[in-house]
């Protein structure tokens, strides 16, 4: 084969472009799909249209975009029309959209909005954000081990704060198993727990590519983590659920590394500046204190320190003398009072002796009078006992009298008796029972 038989890339691309342009089926194409990778630009709009199995790049020039009556959004399902051609510079075919109409919201975008509304209602977005440590020692990075994200983070951290330790937790960041992989890594970080900061993220992509970071399980794993989380998912215009629940959102992985670490040289410079300020402040204080010391040393009182207490010493002497005089005067007054009391006591001694004799005489008279009174009372008692004994019924019975009773009642009159009635008769030495045979009453006018 000769060299003339080989085509250049440009020649092949031009040939394919002519094929696209000449195909009558591609001059007017009507498509329905979801908008992906949309970002509002000042002039022409570049985005993608996709469905479940395919995706096509799209461009809409400023003149056509200005005619639409709504604002296209990520995930919005639309109806478009235009022509399909090949862009020679990249060799990529794309649709040039000249008309666009909304056709509902795409399934992924709808799910995103539903989860966001659910978490907002639960207050997940209002949870106080944990502060990012200013001087971290260990940072956990959850991302793909082969992507540009980890390389950007490592490069940025080594440039800014090389003393920090980065620990990579390799995770899937795209596909059906990515969400579980991210959750497992977050749980591992939480179990180890000796990290100051966590960075989680991936590079840009479509909403399908970023979808694992919109999963509810990933959001709840981030909320449960006690370590501050910095999220960096997609481009600056992409916002995922992970970004909303994280403690801090970074537009790019490089920005995430910058937010997680200080610049070591700046820290060292600040420390040096602070040290210089401290030295200067201490030096200024020492100078002022030294000047004040010199002023004190030149003061005449410090040169003659005895002058400080001379007046006080004189006052102490005066007060001491006054105290001694007062004590002496009080002592003399007390001695004089004691002498007067002693003399008064001497004058009272004869009277005390007279009182003592009177007391003894009164005690003797009292003792005699009490003895006489006691004897008199004993005699009166004996007389009363004799009188009482003479009135005793027993004395009467001893003189031959008897006591008649019937049914526990003493009989004093014959009218209280009846013939054949049994009666009890009590004598001086005992009692017996008798029966009434005859009743003879005596007239007694009294």
pLDDT in tens, 296-339: 777 766 767 666 667 777 788 888 889 998 998 898 898 888 88
Residue-wise pLDDT for 241-299, tens only, equals 999 999 999 999 999 999 999 999 988 999 999 999 999 999 999 999 999 888 877 77
Question: What pLDDT does residue 373 have?
Answer: 84
Tokens of 14: 């031009």
Highest average pLDDT, of 3-12, 238-247, 360-369, comes from: 238-247
Q: How distant, in Å, are the alpha carbons of 282, 334, 391, 407 from that of 411?
A: 132, 94, 19, 10
Q: Select the more confidently predicted residue: 120 or 310.
A: 120
Segment 96-108 mean pLDDT: 81
pLDDT score of 361 more than 70:
yes
Question: What pLDDT does residue 1 have?
Answer: 59
Question: What global pTM score does this model have?
Answer: 0.49
pLDDT score of 7 more than 90:
no
Question: What pLDDT does residue 52 have?
Answer: 84
pLDDT score of 219 more than 70:
yes
Segment 111-117 mean pLDDT: 86
Q: Select the more confidently predicted residue: 169 or 439.
A: 169
Highest average pLDDT, of 228-232, 298-302, 382-386, comes from: 228-232
Phi and psi torsions of 287, nearest 5°: -60, -45
Question: What pLDDT does residue 349 have?
Answer: 63
Q: Is residue 96 a contact partner of residue 59, using CB atoms and an 8 Å limit?
A: yes
Segment 412-418 mean pLDDT: 81
Question: What pLDDT does residue 444 have?
Answer: 57
Tokens of 318: 């005066």
Q: Which helix (H) or strand (E) holds 271?
A: helix 264-298
Q: Select the more confidently predicted residue: 192 or 351.
A: 192
Question: What pLDDT does residue 58 have?
Answer: 96
The strands making up 431-435's β-sheet, listed across from edge to edge, are 409-410, 403-406, 422-426, 431-435
**C-alpha–C-alpha distance, residues 36 and 230, integer Å:** 25
pLDDT score of 379 more than 90:
no
Alpha-carbon dihedral sign for residues 342, 346, 351, 357: positive
Q: Select the more confidently predicted residue: 282 or 425.
A: 282
Question: What pLDDT does residue 446 have?
Answer: 46
Question: pLDDT band at 104, cuts 50/70/90?
Answer: low
Q: Is residue 231 a contact partner of residue 221, using CB atoms and an 8 Å limit?
A: no
Phi and psi torsions of 84, nearest 5°: -105, 135
HSE-up (13 A, CA, CB side) for residue 64:
16
Q: Select the more confidently predicted residue: 419 or 61.
A: 61
Segment 212-227 mean pLDDT: 95
pLDDT score of 445 more than 60:
no
Q: How distant, in Å, are the alpha carbons of 148, 186, 405, 413, 420 from that of 410?
A: 140, 120, 4, 9, 17
């Amino acid at each position: 084969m000769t060299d003339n038989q080989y085509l250049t890339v440009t020649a092949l691309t031009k040939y394919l472009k002519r094929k696209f342009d000449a195909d009558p089926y591609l001059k007017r194409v009507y498509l329905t799909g979801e908008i992906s990778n949309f970002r509002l630009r000042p002039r022409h709009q570049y985005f993608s249209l996709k469905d479940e199995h395919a995706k096509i790049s799209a461009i809409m020039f400023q003149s056509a975009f200005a005619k639409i009556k709504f604002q296209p959004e990520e995930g919005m399902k639309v109806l478009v029309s235009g022509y399909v051609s090949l862009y020679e510079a990249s060799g990529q075919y794309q649709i040039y959209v000249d008309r666009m109409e909304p056709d509902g919201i795409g399934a992924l975008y709808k799910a995103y909005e539903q989860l966001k509304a659910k978490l907002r209602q639960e207050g997940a977005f209002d949870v106080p954000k944990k502060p990012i440590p200013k001087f971290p020692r260990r940072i956990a990075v959850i991302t793909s081990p082969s992507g540009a994200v980890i390389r950007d983070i490592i490069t940025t951290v080594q440039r800014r704060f090389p003393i920090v330790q980065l620990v990579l937790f390799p995770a899937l960041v795209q596909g059906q198993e990515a969400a579980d992989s991210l959750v497992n890594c977050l749980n591992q970080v939480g179990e180890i727990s000796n990290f100051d900061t966590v960075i989680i993220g991936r590079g840009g992509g479509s909403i399908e590519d970023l979808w694992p970071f919109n999963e509810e399980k990933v959001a709840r794993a981030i909320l449960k983590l006690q370590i501050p989380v910095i999220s960096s998912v997609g481009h600056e215009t992409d916002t995922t659920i992970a970004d909303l629940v994280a403690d801090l959102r970074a537009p790019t992985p490089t920005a995430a590394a910058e937010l997680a670490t200080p610049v070591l040289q700046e820290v060292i410079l600040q420390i040096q500046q602070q040290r210089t300020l401290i030295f200067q402040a201490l030096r200024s204080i020492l100078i002022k204190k030294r000047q004040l010391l010199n002023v004190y040393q030149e003061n005449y009182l410090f040169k003659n320190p005895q002058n400080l207490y001379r007046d006080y010493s004189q006052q102490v002497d005066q007060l001491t003398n006054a105290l001694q005089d007062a004590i002496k005067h009080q002592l003399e007054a007390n001695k004089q009072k004691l002498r007067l009391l002693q003399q008064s006591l001497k004058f009272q001694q004869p009277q005390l002796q007279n009182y003592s004799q009177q007391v003894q005489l009164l005690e003797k008279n009292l003792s005699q009078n009490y003895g006489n009174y006691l004897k008199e009372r004993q005699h009166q008692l004996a007389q009363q006992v004799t009188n009482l004994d003479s009135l005793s019924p027993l004395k009467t019975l001893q003189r031959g009298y008897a006591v008649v009773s019937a049914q526990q009642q003493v009989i004093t009159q014959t009218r209280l008796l009846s013939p054949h009635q049994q009666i009890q008769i009590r004598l001086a030495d005992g009692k017996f029972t008798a029966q009434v045979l005859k009743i003879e009453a005596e007239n007694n006018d009294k």
